Amino acid sequence: MIVVFLGPPGAGKGTQAKLLSQRMGFYHLSTGDILREAVKKQTPLGIKAKEYMDRGELVPDSLIIALIEEYLPEKGGVILDGFPRTIAQAEALESMLNAKGKKLSKVILFDSPDEAIIDRLSGRRVCSSCGALYHVKYNPPKKDEICDFCGGSLVQREDDKEAVVEKRLEVYRKQTEPLIDFYRKKNIIYRLDATKGVEELFSELEGIIKDDG
């Protein structure tokens, strides 16, 4: 089963994808996480991607499509978190899956107003070592600025600074929102009210994923 998580920055896609992977065994393929790792290691992809990410812009389609071709597993359930983000990426995914005799099962739209997004992104902290996600208000660590799981230090993502968040939202509206119509026409999109709490959202998501009808 291949499921796409679509929605504005900070809507909670990564949080739910991590839960689905822990509780239901899905492979969590996050283009953002792969790119951040490449930036950290200063690989050729990371060096190219960094300039776009720091500005809150999308990394060029050709780089992202090549990345998905490399990382998409052949078997098992997969959550595509943060991909596709443009119509060109969605079309490339379709051809990639067609070529393997597969198709996209469901697209989950994490719907959230801008105020909630800004609140979530400004308070987000990420473990610099294991990538665990926290929020200063909604999911604080037990010890200030220290990861509960591995003891790593918590940091704020560069692109969570206010000016970059505004740009990311603008890019989402212009380049990614058209995908809602694209998938609506294919009748595979499901909307979640992403302002709900983590566990409430998870049980709705689980219901959608398990529903065969």
- Going by C-alpha positions, the residue among 35, 76, 24 that lies closest to residue 159 is 35
Q: Whose Cβ is closer to ligand AP5: residue 105's or residue 156's?
A: 156
Smallest gap from residue 201 Cβ to ligand AP5 (A): 5
Q: Which SS3 state, helix, strand or coil, does residue 84 take?
A: coil
Q: Which SS3 state, helix, strand or coil, does residue 114 take?
A: helix
- Integer Cα distance of 13 and 194 in angstroms: 9
- How far, in whole angstroms, is CA 96 from its chain's centroid? 20
Look at strands 2-6 and 106-111 and give their pairing. Answer: parallel
Residue 118 interacts with ligand AP5 (CB under 6 A): yes or no: no
Helix axes 87-99, 178-185, angle to 10 degrees: 40
Smallest gap from residue 190 Cβ to ligand AP5 (A): 16
Smallest gap from residue 212 Cβ to ligand AP5 (A): 26
Of these, 2, 6, 19, 58, which contacts ligand AP5 (CB under 6 A)?
Answer: 58
Q: Which stretch binds ligand AP5 (CB under 6 A): 94-102, 141-149, 181-189, 197-205?
A: 197-205
Binding positions for ligand AP5, rule: CB under 6 A: 7, 9-15, 31-32, 35, 52-53, 56-59, 64, 82-83, 85, 89, 120, 123-124, 133-135, 138-139, 159, 168, 197-198, 201
